[in-house]
């Protein structure tokens, strides 16, 4: 498929999605969201892809939020639908993907851009990155899951401070409060993400998918994460990955997980 707003590349089990609207600081309009969803679905089905990296084109922005020009005239109903689409087709979709998604935050990650990054499984930021949820400065609140995911990542107090002041924090502050896993200089960002992706891609895709399900379960109201873990653990024993992983260990060789 030809995309208008993103670039999808793949190499060595890694798919990279580049949000490609640098003149608009990679702001997310509806078409971009559906293209990201399509690219993720394609990567998820592709047996040659084991990890996905998402980044922004250019050296200024990861994603500077939802496209404000698109929703400035929306009413209550359309506002709700905008949020629903951002939840279902973007952030919940990423969080529940069976393959790990790494956010390579290469500049501004604001509003929906930070919400997208927070729905990724791993976040690395370049040292010039600036992150925030400035929606209240526009008269709205974060609507793609940001009120929940930010509080889960940095705690309720820090989340309320960031959201109500609409301020941005630096990459170093983001690292200190647990919003990102690591920071590095911009030139090394993709390489460092690829190093993590490459380590992941050597492990069992089945087991990684079970780990994502089990960890996510602990954050869903009414779901017992420990119970999900027991079921997923048991299921692993029925997979060819488990047979290969344990066999390889006993034969003192590296496992070769199936494609
Ligand atoms: N939606 C739509 N367009 C956006 C955008 C967004 N979220 N963020 C940036 N842009 C556009 C600007 O309108 C501008 O377009 P133009 O050249 O056609 O006028 C272009 O991207 C460059 O942005 P600009 O504001 O000129 O860059 P800057 O370096 O002066 O400021 C920011 C950078 C990120 C501080 C500023 O663009 C900003 O505050 N963006 C909005 C952030 C936000 O509120 N996001 C949450 C949305 S819910």
Cα–ligand 1 centroid distance for 24 (angstroms): 6
Place of tokens 């997310």: 28
Q: Quote the pLDDT of residue 191.
A: 98
Which residue minimizes the CA distance to atom 43 of ligand 1?
65
For the question of residue 232 being annotated catalytic, the response is no
Q: Quote the pLDDT of residue 50.
A: 98
Q: Which atom of ligand 1 is nearest to the CA of 67?
A: 1
- What are the distances in angstroms from CA 179 to CA 151, 174, 204, 208? 10, 5, 27, 22
| Mean pLDDT value across residues 212-222 | 96
Q: Quote the pLDDT of residue 259.
A: 65
Q: How far is CA 170 from the centre of its chain?
A: 19
Q: Is the pLDDT of residue 208 over 90?
A: yes
| From 35, 135, 194, 232, the catalytic residue | 135
| Mean pLDDT value across residues 117-131 | 98
pLDDT digits (tens, 9 = 90+) for 146-170: 999 999 999 999 999 999 999 999 9
The whole-angstrom separation of Cα 142 and Cα 120 is 17
pLDDT digits (tens, 9 = 90+) for 20-77: 999 999 999 999 999 999 999 999 999 999 999 999 999 999 999 999 999 999 999 9
- Give phi and psi for 104, each to the nearest 5: -100, 95
Q: Is the pLDDT of residue 112 over 90?
A: yes
Q: Quote the pLDDT of residue 84.
A: 98
Q: Is the pLDDT of residue 236 over 90?
A: yes
């Amino acid at each position: 498929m030809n995309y208008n707003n993103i670039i999808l590349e793949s190499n060595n089990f890694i798919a990279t999605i580049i949000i490609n609207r640098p003149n608009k600081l990679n702001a997310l309009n509806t078409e971009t969201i559906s293209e990201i969803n399509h690219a993720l679905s394609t990567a998820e089905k592709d047996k040659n892809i084991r990890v996905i990296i998402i980044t922004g084109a250019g050296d200024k922005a990861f994603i500077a939020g939802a496209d404000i020009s698109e929703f400035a005239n929306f009413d209550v109903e359309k506002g709700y639908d905008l949020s629903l689409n951002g939840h279902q087709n973007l952030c919940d979709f990423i969080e529940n993907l069976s393959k790990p998604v790494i956010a390579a935050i290469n500049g501004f990650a604001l509003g929906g851009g930070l919400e997208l990054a927070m729905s990724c499984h791993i976040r690395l930021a370049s040292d010039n990155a600036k992150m925030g949820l400035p929606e209240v400065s526009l008269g709205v609140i974060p609507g793609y899951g940001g009120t929940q995911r930010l509080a889960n990542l940095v705690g309720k107090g820090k989340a309320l401070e960031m959201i109500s002041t609409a301020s941005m924090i630096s990459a170093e502050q983001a690292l200190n409060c647990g919003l990102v896993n690591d920071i590095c200089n911009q030139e090394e960002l993709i390489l460092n993400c690829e190093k993590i992706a490459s380590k992941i891609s050597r492990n069992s895709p089945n087991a990684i998918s079970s780990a994502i399900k089990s960890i996510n379960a602990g954050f869903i109201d009414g779901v017992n994460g420990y119970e999900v873990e027991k079921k997923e653990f048991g299921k692993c024993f029925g997979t060819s990955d488990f047979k290969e992983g344990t066999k390889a260990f006993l034969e003192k060789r590296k496992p070769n997980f199936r494609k």
